[in-house]
Structure 1
Amino acid sequence: MDNRIKQYLFDIEQSISDVKSYMSAVKSLQAYEEDKLIRRAVERELEIIGEALNRILKIDPNITIPNARKIISLRNKIIHGYDEVDNVIIYTVATKHVDILKEDIEKL
């Protein structure tokens, strides 16, 4: 496996760990919505994950990462549609989907 891909996979793992750390203090969607610092931190980590996935697929389009395109699309939405970010979607991704992504990344 290309060393750049290994670095991007490591970056994804780090960002997943950070999201989980940030979200450990959040007990509900309401608490998430009320904490701008946590929201922005989680959004930034999801941007990093999406960008790293995008770079991986540019290097090797044959790598299979389930939902990679959806994650990249989420990254684009956060960056380019910052005024339309849906907190419910971000909260759901941060509390449910990052664990699934972590498993997929660990398999690689």
Structure 2
Amino acid sequence: MDKRRDIEKRLNDVLTSVMKIEMFVESRPKRFDVFCSDEMFRCAVLLNIAIIGEAVNHILKIEPEIHISSSRQIVCTRNYIIHGYDSLDNEILWSIVINHLPLLRTEVEDLLEKYKS
């Protein structure tokens, strides 16, 4: 697979995971206490944040200068989820969902326009 198509595939992976998280949030009351009390919800969000981090990591290896805000923090969050899973802070995860994913979605959609084959 050429670099351009690989980046496009990884961007689509990010967008798909963001959209899944948005769907999970939209199907419940948009409240922190609901997030904390629903283990299945938290696990679904965690898996998709990890997928986002893995995809962004691959993108950065191909195109280190790509414009994704907080790209290094996204990868670090993925690493923390995988390696520090026993000390995850629900407030940080909820903040990612509420405050950071909307910008990531916009940036990825814009990048996909650029990388479409």
TMscore range, shorter length? over 0.9
**Gap change, CA 1:39 and 1:100, over 3 Å in 2:** same
The percentage of counterpart residues that share the same residue type is 36
Aligned length: 108
Q: Which has the higher contact order (CA 8 A, sep 6+)?
A: 2
Q: What is the match of residue 97 of structure 1?
A: 100
- Structure 2 length normalisation: TM-score? 0.88
Cα pair 1:8 1:56 within 8 Å, conserved: yes
Q: What is the match of residue 28 of structure 1?
A: 31
- What CA RMSD, in Å, does the superposition of the two structures yield over aligned residues? 1.0
Q: What is the match of residue 88 of structure 1?
A: 91
Measured after TM superposition, the shift of residue 99 of structure 1 is 0.4
- Large movers: runs of 4+ above 4 Å: none
Code of the residue aligned with 1:22 in structure 2: it is F
Code of the residue aligned with 2:12 in structure 1: it is F
Cα pair 1:65 1:104 within 8 Å, conserved: yes
Q: Which runs of 5+ in 1 are unaligned?
A: none
Q: Which runs of 5+ in 2 are unaligned?
A: 112-117
Cα pair 1:9 1:105 within 8 Å, conserved: yes
